[in-house]
Structure 1
């Protein structure tokens, strides 16, 4: 019995001081060639890798990011003018590989998206984006709404209300239309 307690205490001693290490980079030119390893701050329990592609008219760009994460959910998000995929993991230096580029292969699902004038645009979802999402944020009394497509894996981890921003997902074509953001939608 004393041996079991001693082994348990040694295990706690050796694991309590361990901090997660993740690769870090901010590739604004679409490449994470200059990545470094960093020790994550207390409370950051995951490593993440993200690839974002934006297109505004004829101007497009790609950003790759790697870092420590407080909370991270793997999946894809498509707001029409920006698409992103995120990969999350929870072991040392597990984010060596870049997150994949967002898919351009349509999957038959459609959701509403927003532009500067309205949120009634129809967006064709792609890849594993099988849910619609609505993000509402409030800053300085002004409300901003974003709508688009998202993967189920992303929706499973982000449906919540932070007070200044709320995230809600639903399943079904154009289900992120005129419904209230306070309504909880069925996954």
Structure 2
């Protein structure tokens, strides 16, 4: 009897082996698969085995297998070079029912990296790309207003999102056509198309127009009627090893975005910042039923102001001049920050809302006067060091009229695009607010405590 009781106790103390449930599946040219859930043997785990094969012609194929397996098969990595190509294999494991352990792609493409001008070919080094990159050919052809042309070809590794871009820019200098294509074998060269004929048919959009050298910003107040598939406005900036240029005009929505290339140590950046343009005729805003005049656009203006512990956030829908569309700027003011972004929209243009810019702390070499005054101007000898992209000095003056009357002026640092806002008027609860933005410097002292109280009072009514 006693021995039977001991055997029963020992049985209770013996651990019960747990059998894991794992998905069993197989897929080609994919990093995921689905299948049945199976019960593994004791001490087995869920394993993912991923194999990539690259033929001598550059064709990539893959096989994924998920199943039960001993833990000795986990975290195995290897590769082999064969007469007709390369093979790379990787395994990973996980230990919960029907879990899917991560897949690591092993094959990295080799691409020629080069830049050529006025040519459809270029030669350069063969570099190993990052994971999920492909071999890109990016071709730009410019036709100037005097009839001459120039072209640029860049070949490089790039994400597949940059492939198969085809569009144009209309600017004061002429027309710019951009095309890209991709291929997926080592050091391949994807084909380059020739520029199509530009259409002269109006697209019904009007955009700001300017050009400038040695800067990434320009503004003149001039406008340009858009044609063909140029249905958005663009600020097109280029920077090559620190040398900058900027152009405003019309663009095809398909080419908007930013690209950076490192060609044999030379860094080249193209930034196409697109916004919705104004209509060549009056238009009705669908959400407010307000009619905007020709050359203006339905818009949302979002302002966030912080000053000490006080803050004010305002979202307003109104008609804006087209040169005020797509602004995302920041200003440093005494004891706070002001951020502004504007988004224009039409029935045929629905670009993402821009984001408030990030606050940067690195001094950029620009120094501006700073002050707050309970008046429409302020003068001071105090200065502040500007940071990040805040390379202009701001004077912002605000008047409240109507049932409440007050004034304030603020000086500080700002990004240049906030200066393009010029003047903004709002009416709410019988109070009219008129704010002017100007890039300027000032000098003379100010009664700070009274100024801060007046500024916070205005923030309350602008909320």
- For Structure 1 versus Structure 2, the TM-score category normalised by the shorter chain is 0.5 to 0.7
Contact in 1 for aligned 2:208/2:222 (Cα 8 Å):
yes
Residue number among 105, 121, 142 corresponding to 1:53 in the alignment: 142
> Which of the pair has the greater relative contact order for Cα pairs under 8 Å at 6+ separation?
1
Q: How does 1:1-187 map to 2 (within 5 A)?
A: 8-10=49-51, 11=63, 14=88, 16-32=105-121, 34-35=122-123, 38-42=126-130, 45-46=133-134, 47-55=136-144, 57=146, 59-70=148-159, 72=162, 74-80=165-171, 81=173, 83-89=176-182, 91-92=184-185, 95-101=189-195, 103-109=197-203, 110=205, 111-116=207-212, 118-126=220-228, 128-135=229-236, 146-155=247-256, 157=257, 167-170=273-276, 173=279, 177-180=322-325, 181-182=327-328, 183-186=342-345, 187=350
**Deviation readout 1:110-134 (Å, 9 max, x if unpaired):** 43321348251415434x3222223
Contact in 2 for aligned 1:168/1:185 (Cα 8 Å):
no
Question: What is the deviation of 1:136?
Answer: 7.3
The answer for unaligned runs of 5 or more in structure 1 is: 138-143, 159-164
CA gap 1:121/1:60 in 2 versus in 1, 3 angstroms? farther
Decide which structure has greater strand share: 2
Contact in 2 for aligned 1:78/1:148 (Cα 8 Å):
yes
Q: What TM-score, normalized by structure 2, do the two folds share?
A: 0.30
The answer for unaligned runs of 5 or more in structure 2 is: 1-21, 26-45, 52-62, 65-76, 78-87, 89-103, 213-218, 239-244, 259-270, 280-294, 298-320, 329-341, 351-463
- The count of residues paired between Structure 1 and Structure 2 equals 173
Runs of 4+ in 1 over 6 A off after TM superposition: none
Which structure would you say has the larger Rg? 2
Question: What is the deviation of 1:57?
Answer: 4.2
Question: What is the deviation of 1:72?
Answer: 2.4
Question: What is the deviation of 1:95?
Answer: 4.9
Question: What is the deviation of 1:85?
Answer: 0.9
RMSD (CA atoms): 4.0
CA gap 1:179/1:104 in 2 versus in 1, 3 angstroms? same
